[in-house]
Amino acid sequence: MAYKILIILSIIVFHSWNAINICHGENNVDERGTLDGVYIKAIETYPNPKPQEFNFGVGLYPYNAYYSGFGLGASYTYYFNKTWAWDIVNGMSFFSFDKDLISVLAEDFGVEPEQIERIEFLVGSNLKYVHSYGKLIFLKKFIRYYRSSFIFGIGLASTNERSYFTGNFGFDINFFVNDSFSVKFEACDSMTLNGSSIASPNYIVVKIITGISY
Eight-class DSSP state of 163: E
Per-residue pLDDT band for 4 (boundaries 50, 70, 90) equals very low
Shared domain for 25 and 65, answered yes or no, is no
Shared domain for 126 and 91, answered yes or no, is yes
Per-residue pLDDT band for 54 (boundaries 50, 70, 90) equals very high
pLDDT at 2 over 90: no
Domain membership of residue 12 as a residue range: 2-39
Q: What is the DSSP string of 111-127?
A: ---S----EEEEEEEEE
Shared domain for 198 and 123, answered yes or no, is yes
- Domains of the chain: total: 2
Task: Spell 153-176 as b/e; 16+ CB within 10 A means b.
Answer: bebebebeeeebebebbbbbebbb
Shared domain for 33 and 64, answered yes or no, is no
Least-confidence region, from 19-28, 65-74, 188-197:
19-28
Of the CA atoms within 13 Å of residue 63, those in its CB half-sphere come to 15
- 100-149 pLDDT, tens digit per residue, is 766 666 555 555 666 788 889 999 999 999 998 888 877 777 777 889 99
Shared domain for 110 and 208, answered yes or no, is yes
pLDDT at 38 over 80: no
pLDDT for the residue 33: 56
pLDDT at 172 over 90: yes
pLDDT at 18 over 50: no
Per-residue pLDDT band for 66 (boundaries 50, 70, 90) equals confident
Between 94 and 199, where is the model more confident?
94
Shared domain for 98 and 155, answered yes or no, is yes
Shared domain for 6 and 83, answered yes or no, is no
Per-residue pLDDT band for 91 (boundaries 50, 70, 90) equals very high
Between 100 and 154, where is the model more confident?
154
Per-residue pLDDT band for 178 (boundaries 50, 70, 90) equals confident
Q: Assign 3-class secondary structure to 63-89.
A: CCCCEEEEEEEEEEEEECCCCEEEEEE
Is residue 166 domain-resident? Answer: yes
Q: What is the CATH number of the domain that holds 165?
A: 2.40.160.20
Shared domain for 28 and 109, answered yes or no, is no
Is residue 178 domain-resident? Answer: yes
Confidence (pTM): 0.70
Shared domain for 35 and 78, answered yes or no, is no
Shared domain for 159 and 136, answered yes or no, is yes
The pLDDT > 70 percentage for the chain reads 66
User: Mean of the pLDDT values across residues 58-73?
Assistant: 89
The pLDDT > 90 percentage for the chain reads 36
Per-residue pLDDT band for 23 (boundaries 50, 70, 90) equals very low
